[in-house]
């Protein structure tokens, strides 16, 4: 199956605009070096706009999406990432929901990021960084934020939509 998949990417990679590599549905889950394989597959898709990789099998230590210049949307929900991977500058939407092992959010956000989902991540106050100034939609549901850890100074002025459902926020006066 791996050989067939590699052949598809080799022959048709430049045509692929949207790619779902959620390994729950593929036998890649037990493959050694899965992050490197994902990097190879993605690099053969220079016109990729949307990428979804959701799996409890992905640790992401070696993932690197910075070469995907046309990538607009990246969904890494449910991955066992310990840190955010390098991202392309044109990325508009990033989903890191339920990536519970992330110790620290990115410090260098893509300059065009408009949507960020970090719901289900129990980030400590040390793990939080200034969010991108371009951010319009932020999902923090079930993220462990409360009045003592939600810092309004980290919130961008451009924010239009904020999802705090399932959080421990008791009072919004500080926002």
Inter-residue contact 167 to 142 (CB < 8 Å): yes
Closest CA to 49 of 6, 5, 90, 84: 90
pLDDT at position 26 is 47
Q: Which two tokens stand for residue 153?
A: 């100074």
pLDDT at position 126 is 54
What is the distance between the alpha carbons of residues 127 and 36, in angstroms, rounded to a whole number?
Answer: 26
pLDDT at position 100 is 72
pTM of the model: 0.84
CA angle 129, 171, 175 (to 5 degrees): 40
Determine the average pLDDT of the residues in 153-159. Answer: 79
Closest CA to 54 of 2, 99, 102, 103: 99
Q: What are 15-64's pLDDT values in tens digits?
A: 999 999 886 544 444 455 777 888 888 899 999 999 998 876 676 667 88
CB neighbourhood size of 155 (10 A): 15
Q: Which two tokens stand for residue 39?
A: 């990097």
What is the distance between the alpha carbons of residues 146 and 10, in angstroms, rounded to a whole number?
Answer: 48
Q: Which two tokens stand for residue 60?
A: 């992401």
Q: Please report where in the chains the tokens 């939407």 appear, as a residue.
A: 93
């Amino acid at each position: 199956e791996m050989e067939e998949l590699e052949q598809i990417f080799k022959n048709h990679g430049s045509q692929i605009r949207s790619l779902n590599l959620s390994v729950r549905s593929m036998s890649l889950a037990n493959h050694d070096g899965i992050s490197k394989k994902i990097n190879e597959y993605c690099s053969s898709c220079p016109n990729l706009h949307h990428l979804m990789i959701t799996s409890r099998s992905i640790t992401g230590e070696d993932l690197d999406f910075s070469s995907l210049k046309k990538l607009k949307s990246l969904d890494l929900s449910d991955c066992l990432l310990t840190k955010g991977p390098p991202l392309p500058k044109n990325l508009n939407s990033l989903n890191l929901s339920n990536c519970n092992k992330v110790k620290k959010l990115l410090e260098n956000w893509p300059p065009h990021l408009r949507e960020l989902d970090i719901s289900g991540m129990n980030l400590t106050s040390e793990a939080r960084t200034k969010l991108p100034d371009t951010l319009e939609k932020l999902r923090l549901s079930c993220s462990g934020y409360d009045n003592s850890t939600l810092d309004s100074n980290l919130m961008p002025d451009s924010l239009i939509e904020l999802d705090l459902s399932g959080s421990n926020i008791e009072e919004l006066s500080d926002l």
